Amino acid sequence: MKTNRPTKDIGQKAEEQALQYLINQGYTLRERNYRYKRSEVDLILLDSKTIVFVEVKYRSTSQFGYPEEFVSDNQKKLILQGAENYLADLGWQGPIRFDIIAIDAHFNITHFEDAFY
């Protein structure tokens, strides 16, 4: 499978910027690019006593919509599957949250807490 390297590099840069932003906000990284079957969760962090599953979305233009609008219902379902597996493996009984970090072409960050589910 051929990979569009510049797009992948930009995605990794956006994810790294999102991670640094969250760490600066006091979050603690638990997992990065967690995979379960067809699911991938970009970032899993701890915010005080809440496990936060984060989807990072970057868009170079808002011509077709904002980054946060590109998290499809199917993608949300897959993230939920990954989260359920992660929580089961951990035996976690505490609070959880699903956030979106939207990053634009200028690498400005907008953080949507409790964005879905």
pTM reported for the whole predicted model: 0.88
Residue 21 CA: distances (Å) to CA of 1, 45, 68, 69, 114: 32, 12, 17, 20, 17
DSSP assignments along 14-78, one per residue = HHHHHHHHHHHTT-EEEEEEEEETTEEEEEEEEETTEEEEEEEEE-S-STT--GGGG--HHHHHH
Report all structural domains of the chain as residue ranges with CATH numbers, in order of start: 5-112 (3.40.1350.10)
pLDDT, one tens digit per residue, over 18-55 is 999 999 999 999 999 999 999 999 999 999 999 999 99
Task: Supply the pLDDT for residue 106.
Answer: 85
Per-residue pLDDT band for 4 (boundaries 50, 70, 90) equals: low
Task: Supply the pLDDT for residue 113.
Answer: 96
Task: Supply the pLDDT for residue 7.
Answer: 63
pLDDT, one tens digit per residue, over 66-113 is 668 878 899 999 999 999 999 999 999 999 999 999 999 888 999 999
Task: Supply the pLDDT for residue 80.
Answer: 96
Task: Supply the pLDDT for residue 74.
Answer: 93
Structure token pair of residue 77: 């379902």
